[in-house]
Chains A and B, each alone.
Chain A
Amino acid sequence: MAAARQAKPLKQKLSRFVDHFRNDWQIYLMLLPTIIWMIVFLYKPMYGLQIAFKDYSIFRGVAASPWVGFEHFQTLFSNDQFLRAIKNTIIISALNLLFGFPAPIILALMFNEILHATYKRTAQTIVYLPHFISTVIIAGIVTTAFSPTAGVVNTMIGWFGLDSIYFLTKPEWFRPIFVSTGIWQEAGFGSIVFLAAIAGVNPSLYESAVVDGASRWQMMWRITIPSIMPTIIIMLIIRIGNIMEVSFELIILLYQPATWSTADVVNTFVYRQGLESGQYDVAAAAGLFNAVVAFVLVMTANTLSRRYSRTSLW
């Protein structure tokens, strides 16, 4: 009885799905490349995650390497450098979130207030551009700009009669330089999504506000920001999901042993352990830990958001 009752809706569901698919197959076709990409580059590699629990030998392969349980995790958590890398990852990400997340929103709001069309477009193009420069070149620009003898920053410090500072070897300067470089590079491009959201705000809201005598400042606070809040929250959730993924290419290019104490993050640690020292199993364990933390964070952020603001990713 119960089985028969369940079978009917299932059949209905299935036929609805087939109809749906027949009508909109073009959309599914467009989705296909992404699905293939995800299977090949994200799902298939998950098979290899097991080496985090194995004594992995490349020659024996994934399947034939013996299991060692949580040995690699014990190795990691007894390693001060790994613990420090976790701490640094969290600090750098928190700084990124604190200063890097509001930057594109502020930028978008500012663009929105510019009335002169040509000026607005030119300014937008200029702030988008850094996004398209390769990380290696960005690192070269930063290294040169902060050079103690020829760098523009130290030249300016010299105008005030102060001694030049070898910024890239000072642990206390690494995070400010890294975070501000990130903002300089990405804030402009990141503002696009918020500009799009602002463009979608119903113009009649502004019109009635003008009739009621609201100032532009009031319109921004009372209309623009609340209207784009769902977008802001979605972007925040995505951002939190990526909190363990600081852009480690830039770190590798900028850090020195002298600045490891503030610059070494989980991903750079994984790089040194895994690729340079060939310990794939330990590196996989570190990466897996990273992914689990990120998963928990994004789930938490999503749940909180759904509960308190009724906006969520899923």
Chain B
Amino acid sequence: MNKTLLTTAIVAGAVFGTAANAQDEYKIVDEPLELSIQMNHKRYPVYEEDWPVEQEARALTNIHLKDVTVGANIRTDSENTGKTEALNLMLATGKIPDIVGSSRIKDFVNQYGPEGAFLPLNDLINEHAPNLKKFFEEKPEIKAALSAADGNMYYIPYLPDGKYGRAYFIRYDWLDALKLEVPETVDEFEAVLRAFKTQDPNGNGEADEVPYFARQWPELLRLVTLWDGRSSGSDTYHDFLVEDGEIKHPYAGEGYRDGIKNVARWYEEGLVDAEIFTRGSSSREFLLSENLGGVTHDWFASTAGYNRLSADIDGFAFKAFAPPASISGKRIEEHRRIPIKPDGWAIGGTNKHPVETIKYFDFWFTEAGRRLANFGVEGQHYDMVDGKAVFKDSVLNSDEPVNNQLYAVGSQLQARGYFQDYNYETQWSNEFALEGIALYDEGDYLIDQFLGVAFTADEQKVYDKFWPGIRDYMLERQQTWILGTGDVEADWDDYIAQLNKQNFQDVLDVMNSAYKRQYK
């Protein structure tokens, strides 16, 4: 499926590419034009003008982006609050640059775009951006997901390619050592975790194994899917989900209640890392290299990369296994890459060159632009082999991971609106990751994602007023239950009553009215 997508894009690019003469094929303006840009992303707090990719884009289009980022910070948390903070600061200064790119820009532009802070893009795209126009015509669902409540698009998103994100990983060598099979059901999974805990698979004579661990504690909640609950409807933690055409929240469902009860039991029995809430982001590195961790739920490529530890730990094999069947026999992988991220870039409301800017945005959706955004500069980072971009050996064999090298030259810039090419990643994914992806592909475990809604001003008010408090309350109860300070069965009715007292239904109502307007 990826392949067909890729071919379509290349063919599309080639068709449009032949229009002008080869030299000036992508040139937008005759005289060099400078546009100001705000760009704050976790990997690159500002836009670097000497990135080779920017240099190349400048040479091709004659448009030069000049960094004027305000409030740059590289603070990262699961909610990307640092990015929103930078955007708010930028808006508070009263000066909006020509182009604004950021993580989590969607809600921001959809709120302030209609107030005039950003330009609506629909007409500009129709008139001046053939590649973008074609892209959105082919994918109306993406256009629907992008649009603000007034029906306009205010940003061009970063569009991830490929489907697979996280997966369950287990120490196959530990399974072999204890003569166990790969767990196929939730009961077998529990038995395996218990064996890891009690039968000393690392062979050091101590019961120091940590059966299930995670870098991000919300990954513990994924386990509720084993009891037919849900932990999130999208790749953002604690998000709403769509069920039977209606928006619901996973933390108010029956399966969740059952799941939490069992996760709490696992926690109490020590099948789950006791310090999962405080250990933090280095836990994967620590627990794997100390030969302590047994199972986790994490990204394919980076987790499979830990098999390099086999050099130090005899027999080390950390490989993906299919999601165990839930109590009702369903096997789902809740996490996947969503087709559209809330990251990307927008045109500032005071931009004096909107036509040139949209043409510039369009450039990144041409064949050459997309390659530049995905693979870096031809001849420096990749070569064309049989019509395909192939990374140079110096890039593939470097000590630095390929994605980090690309970030450093301004490629795979996820605060830029571009369509990712999964081919970039398969070239450097190791065999264990590819093997795992094939396993997940075969089983077809992925489920549909909730792509978010855009509120009207009134809906936004209701959401802002009640949702943060409800969410805090949900997380607080959740942790209390897992840690055993409260009992989910005993507390459940009070919990639902409290949610309703905090106007949970009103939040669901605005979510649903926005959802119906946008997707039906």
Q: For A172, give the chain B residue with the smallest CB separation.
A: B485
Give the shortest distance, in Å, between B73 (CB) and chain A (any CB).
12
B479 touches A257 (CB 8 A): yes
Q: Contacts A276-B79, A278-B84 hold; do A256 and B277 have CB atoms under 8 A apart?
A: yes
Chain B residues with Cβ below 8 Å from A59 are: 91, 112, 115-117
Query: Does residue A258 face the partner (Cβ distance < 8 Å to B)?
Result: yes
**Cα distance A79–B469 when bound, in Å?**
8
Cβ-neighbour of B476 out of A168, A258, A277, A282 (below 8 A): A258
**Cα distance A59–B115 when bound, in Å?**
8
Cβ-neighbour of B465 out of A75, A169, A260 (below 8 A): A75
A258 touches B278 (CB 8 A): no
Chain A residues with Cβ below 8 Å from B84 are: 278
Query: Does residue A273 face the partner (Cβ distance < 8 Å to B)?
Result: yes
B88 touches A58 (CB 8 A): yes
**Cα distance A277–B465 when bound, in Å?**
10
Query: Does residue A231 face the partner (Cβ distance < 8 Å to B)?
Result: no
Chain B residues with Cβ below 8 Å from A227 are: none
Query: Does residue A303 face the partner (Cβ distance < 8 Å to B)?
Result: no
**Cα distance A257–B85 when bound, in Å?**
22
Chain A residues with Cβ below 8 Å from B501 are: 80
Q: Contacts A75-B465, A148-B274, A272-B468 hold; do A257 and B115 have CB atoms under 8 A apart?
A: no
Query: Does residue A202 face the partner (Cβ distance < 8 Å to B)?
Result: no
Give the shortest distance, in Å, between A13 (CB) and chain B (any CB).
43
Residue from B472, B473, B479 with most neighbouring chain A CB atoms (10 Å): B472
Chain A interface mostly helix, strand, loop or mixed? Answer: helix
Give the shortest distance, in Å, between A298 (CB) and chain B (any CB).
30
**Cα distance A81–B468 when bound, in Å?**
11
**Cα distance A284–B140 when bound, in Å?**
41
B81 touches A276 (CB 8 A): yes
A256 touches B469 (CB 8 A): no
Q: Within B74-99, which residues are at the interface with A (CB < 8 Å)? A: 79, 81, 84-85, 88, 91-92, 94
Query: Does residue B480 face the partner (Cβ distance < 8 Å to A)?
Result: yes
Q: For B481, give the chain A residue with the smallest CB separation.
A: A258
Question: Per-residue CB proximity of A266-281 to B under 8 Å, as 1/0?
Answer: 0000001101111100
Chain A residues with Cβ below 8 Å from B469 are: 79, 81
**Cα distance A277–B501 when bound, in Å?**
20
B475 touches A257 (CB 8 A): yes
**Cα distance A8–B364 when bound, in Å?**
78
Q: Contacts A81-B473, A147-B278 hold; do A277 and B92 have CB atoms under 8 A apart?
A: no
B277 touches A258 (CB 8 A): yes
Give the shortest distance, in Å, between A14 (CB) and chain B (any CB).
42
Give the shortest distance, in Å, between B464 (CB) and chain A (any CB).
6
**Cα distance A276–B422 when bound, in Å?**
33
B480 touches A258 (CB 8 A): yes
Query: Does residue A181 face the partner (Cβ distance < 8 Å to B)?
Result: no
Of the four ranges (under 10, 10 to 19, 20 to 34, 35 or more), the interface on chain B belongs to 20 to 34
Q: Within B436-490, which residues are at the interface with A (CB < 8 Å)? A: 464-465, 467-469, 472-473, 475-476, 478-480, 483, 485
Give the shortest distance, in Å, between A165 (CB) and chain B (any CB).
11
Query: Does residue A171 face the partner (Cβ distance < 8 Å to B)?
Result: yes
Q: Contacts A61-B94, A276-B81 hold; do A168 and B278 have CB atoms under 8 A apart?
A: yes
Give the shortest distance, in Å, between B106 (CB) and chain A (any CB).
14
Q: For A168, give the chain B residue with the smallest CB separation.
A: B278
B479 touches A258 (CB 8 A): yes
**Cα distance A166–B480 when bound, in Å?**
12
Q: Contacts A59-B91, A148-B274, A272-B468 hold; do A260 and B476 have CB atoms under 8 A apart?
A: yes
Chain B residues with Cβ below 8 Å from A257 are: 472, 475-476, 478-480
Query: Does residue A60 face the partner (Cβ distance < 8 Å to B)?
Result: yes
Q: For A61, give the chain B residue with the smallest CB separation.
A: B94
Chain A residues with Cβ below 8 Å from B275 are: 147-149, 166
Query: Does residue A124 face the partner (Cβ distance < 8 Å to B)?
Result: no
**Cα distance A270–B478 when bound, in Å?**
22
Give the shortest distance, in Å, between B179 (CB) and chain A (any CB).
28
Q: For B79, give the chain A residue with the smallest CB separation.
A: A276
Give the shortest distance, in Å, between A276 (CB) and chain B (any CB).
5
Give the shortest distance, in Å, between A262 (CB) and chain B (any CB).
11
**Cα distance A75–B466 when bound, in Å?**
9
Give the shortest distance, in Å, between B469 (CB) and chain A (any CB).
5
**Cα distance A277–B467 when bound, in Å?**
9
Among all A-B residue pairs, the 5 with the closest Cβ atoms? A258-B479, A277-B468, A257-B475, A257-B479, A257-B476
Known: A59-B91, A166-B483. 16 other contacts (CB 8 A): A58-B112, A59-B115, A79-B469, A79-B502, A81-B469, A149-B275, A166-B274, A166-B275, A169-B277, A169-B278, A257-B480, A258-B476, A260-B476, A276-B81, A277-B468, A282-B465
* B interface, CB within 8 angstroms of A: 79, 81, 84-85, 88, 91-92, 94, 112, 115-117, 274-275, 277-278, 464-465, 467-469, 472-473, 475-476, 478-480, 483, 485, 498, 501-502
List 27 contacting pairs A-B, 8 Å CB cutoff, sorted by A.
A58-B88, A59-B115, A59-B117, A61-B94, A75-B465, A81-B472, A147-B278, A148-B275, A166-B274, A168-B278, A169-B479, A170-B483, A171-B485, A256-B277, A256-B278, A256-B479, A257-B472, A257-B478, A258-B479, A258-B480, A260-B476, A261-B476, A261-B480, A276-B81, A277-B468, A278-B464, A279-B464
